[in-house]
């Protein structure tokens, strides 16, 4: 199962990515969680001991040069567009609580997409993770879907767009939905997060008519308390964890697998 998570900044993408990773692992699956947000904090959210020490793949200059034949930042020169990456999940991931984590780092941007060695390596890696692995892969992305393209879209079992009860994050759902459809990705589900009362849920259902809802996660102060205390968020709220288990069940139903 390959799951990608997008949505407006701050809506709870990383919390959902972390909790889904935990739920799949607890259910006996092998999981690779991918932090594909350049300002990501998936490692901290999962409770990794020294998240600040993890070096993103995009900053591993020696690796980038070894695999592509050119140092990072060298646009326009000769380098391999299809570098070898199949060993990277084993050799360049971190593991904690049974969850493998890879931190991608920042894609270089340029007019019409930047052809530079680090982007080639990251793109090859995402393609390999989505098309060439048996594990459950959970991709925590930004407010867009920059890491996905036509070739990888068909491998995504579900693009989950997270939204809060609010106009701006709902607008982002429509924007991401359009970007996804443009690359042929049709398997889209919405998760409503930070739900405080029934009105919040009704607002989302009426604002997003026609979307499939995978679940609604309650707002819980316990998450913020854990955040302020720099504790892992994955064990902070039983109410939230229960709801994420329902979302997990909904995802299994989609893929036709049984729990
Ligand atoms: N259901 C919830 N109840 C209470 N607080 C929450 C809930 N979901 C998320 N939060 C808090 O909201 C903030 C944003 O959550 P998170 O980092 O998961 O969002 P994000 O979409 O990944 O953000 P970013 O775009 O910055 O990566 C965090 O401080 C988190 O602790
Ligand atoms: Mg995040």
Please write the tens of the pLDDT for every residue from 187-246. Answer: 999 999 999 999 999 999 999 999 999 999 999 999 999 999 988 899 999 999 999 999
CA distance linking residue 251 with residue 70, whole number of Å: 40
Mean pLDDT of 110-135: 84
Q: Which residue has the tokens 């308390």?
A: 225
Measured from CB, residues less than 6 Å from any atom of ligand 1 are: 7, 9-15, 37, 193-194, 217, 219-220, 223-224, 227, 233, 240
pLDDT higher for 194 or 149? 194
Res 259: pLDDT: 45
Ligand 2 centre to CA of 6 (Å) is 9
Spell out which residues have Cβ within 5 A of ligand 2, the ion: 13-14
Is pLDDT at 77 greater than 80 in this prediction?
no
43-to-95, 111, 190 alpha-carbon distances in Å: 10, 31, 24
Whether residue 118 contacts residue 58, with contact meaning beta carbons closer than 8 Å, is answered with yes
The model's pTM is 0.95
Which residue has the CA at smallest separation from atom 23 of ligand 1?
10
Please identify, by atom number, the ligand 1 atom nearest to the C-alpha of residue 39: 27
Please identify, by atom number, the ligand 1 atom nearest to the C-alpha of residue 233: 31
């Amino acid at each position: 199962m390959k799951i990608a998570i997008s949505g407006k900044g701050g809506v709870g993408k990383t919390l959902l990515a972390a909790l889904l990773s935990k739920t799949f692992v607890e259910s006996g699956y092998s999981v690779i969680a991918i932090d594909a947000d350049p300002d990501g904090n998936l490692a901290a959210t999962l409770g990794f001991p020294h998240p600040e020490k993890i070096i993103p793949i995009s900053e591993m200059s020696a690796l980038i040069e070894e695999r592509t034949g050119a140092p990072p930042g060298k646009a326009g020169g000769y380098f391999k567009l299809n570098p070898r990456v199949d060993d990277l999940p084993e050799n360049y991931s971190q593991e904690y609580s049974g969850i493998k984590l890879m931190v991608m780092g920042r894609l270089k941007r340029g007019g019409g997409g930047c052809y530079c060695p680090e982007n080639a390596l990251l793109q090859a890696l995402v393609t390999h993770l989505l098309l060439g692995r048996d594990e459950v892969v959970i991709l925590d992305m930004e407010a867009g879907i920059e890491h996905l393209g036509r070739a990888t879209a068909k491998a995504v079992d579900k693009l989950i767009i997270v939204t809060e009860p609010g106009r701006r994050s709902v607008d982002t759902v429509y924007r991401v939905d359009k970007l996804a459809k443009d690359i042929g990705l049709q398997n889209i589900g919405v998760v409503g997060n930070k739900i405080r009362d029934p009105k919040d849920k009704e607002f989302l259902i009426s604002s997003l008519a026609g979307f499939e809802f995978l679940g609604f996660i309650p707002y819980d102060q316990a998450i913020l308390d854990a955040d302020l205390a720099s504790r892992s968020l994955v064990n902070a709220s039983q109410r939230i964890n229960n709801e994420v288990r329902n979302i997990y069940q909904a995802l299994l139903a989609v893929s036709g697998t049984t729990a």
